[in-house]
């Protein structure tokens, strides 16, 4: 579980890889978690929260996502 903060609403929420949390590489080369906020912005816009993470956390996410893809392919 990772605790994230929506910068628009200033509210915190917890999420996990199973709930849609993903690790990405930003344009500046840093690693971060990215997740959709459970709240909706003005005009029904979807809000996204980011939180910096380590390289090890990013590699752990990549390993997890590869395992999930392999599991889905073996089920079909």
pLDDT for residue 49: 95
- Of 57 and 73, the structure prediction assigns the larger pLDDT to 57
- Taking residues 30-36, what's their average pLDDT? 96
**In this structure, are residues 15 and 2 in contact, taking their beta carbons and an 8 Å threshold?**
yes
- What's the pLDDT tens digit per position in 38-69? 999 999 999 999 999 999 999 999 998 898 88
Please report the sign of the dihedral spanned by the C-alpha atoms of residue 55, residue 61, residue 67, residue 69: negative
Asked if residue 36 has pLDDT above 90, the reply is yes
- For residues 24 and 9, what is the distance between their CA atoms, to the nearest angstrom? 23
Closest CA to 3 of 46, 47, 39, 53: 53
Terminus-to-terminus CA distance in the chain, angstroms?
Answer: 29
Question: Can you list the alpha helix ranges (DSSP code H) found in 1-76?
Answer: 55-75
């Amino acid at each position: 579980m990772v605790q994230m903060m929506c910068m628009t609403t200033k509210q915190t929420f917890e999420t996990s890889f199973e709930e849609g949390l993903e690790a990405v590489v930003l344009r500046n080369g840093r690693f971060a978690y990215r997740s959709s906020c459970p709240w909706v912005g003005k005009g029904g816009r979807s809000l996204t929260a980011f939180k910096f993470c380590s390289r090890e956390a990013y590699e752990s996410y990549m390993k997890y996502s590869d395992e999930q893809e392999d599991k889905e392919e073996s089920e079909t």
